[in-house]
Amino acid sequence: MSKFRELLEGWRGDFAAAFDEVESQADTERKRRRIDWGVLGVIVLACVSLSIQEYYGGSTDYKWLESVFGWFSDEPKKLIKSWFRSGERARLHRLYYWVGATTLCYLIIPALYTKLAMRERLRDYGFSLKGTLKHSWIYVGMYLLVLPALFVVGSTEGFQRTYPFYKGASKSVADFVMWELAYALQFISLEFFFRGFLIHGLKRRFGVYCIFVSVMPYCMIHFGKPLPETLGAVAAGIALGLLSLFTRSIWLGAAIHVSVAVSMDVIAMWFSGKLPF
């Protein structure tokens, strides 16, 4: 018990030291500058990216492509209709559109801004793998903590009706893999935006409070979902934000998100007897 207590105290000390360092850097930065244009740019770009994703990034928002390509020829318009509406994997293609929009708004645009406008390294915004294995116990612990709850809710009809988003994932192993890989890319993009770009882009001005700044839009993108899920996003956002700030990496958060999401799909198909393998 004493060894465990010592280990626990050591972990708590590491967390405290990391957050003290962030706060110290933020205090220094606030004294040095009146206006931090980099931080303002992060906030404005975040608003633009969130708006584009909201208005054009849903799985049914592909329809604007029909209008654009219809200006030039009916053939591309017909191809898009076939791809998204009547094809064998039309639902998967619509979800691919959503994943593509998410990747553009939450990963590509912020990454380009970080590299080209701010001239900073992506590894300083959470893309570093350094120290990830050292802190992998956090990932394992959080995943094991959530897993029993997934089995409980996975037995409900509503859960099985909702997951996986792509119902064709139960047709074959190929369909399952095609969907889960795209789904994973969506979560990596999400983690970079909320736990990388926002947290590491704002920490020099807001200190540890950057976590709570990033949680507000993260909570809001869950509006329209059941209230417990939306409130749960607040707790998850704080926990994953703390993890990113401590490890200086998004990868443990991405691993947790992807693992839980894939597990939800597998559990839902298992309970409904539709596993493709």
**Radius of gyration of the chain, Cα coordinates, nearest whole angstrom:** 21
Task: Give the per-residue pLDDT at 11.
Answer: 65
Bridge partner list, 225: 223
Task: Give the per-residue pLDDT at 2.
Answer: 60
The span from the CA of 162 to the CA of 132, in Å, is 32
Contact 25, 204 (CB under 8 A): yes
Produce one character per residue of 9-20: b if its CB has 16 or more CB atoms within 10 Å, e if not. eeeeeeeeebbe
Could you tell me which residues come within 8 angstroms of residue 118 by beta carbon, excluding any fewer than 6 positions away? 38, 41, 201
The span from the CA of 37 to the CA of 222, in Å, is 29
Q: pLDDT under 70 in the chain at which residues?
A: 1-11, 33, 70-74
Tokens of residue 218, six digits: 């993260």
Tokens 């736990």 -> residue:
195
For Cα atoms 157, 162, 164, give the angle at the middle one, nearest 5 degrees: 115
Contact 269, 172 (CB under 8 A): no
Contact 150, 263 (CB under 8 A): yes
Half-sphere CA count of 31, side-chain side, radius 13 A:
6
Task: Give the per-residue pLDDT at 187.
Answer: 97
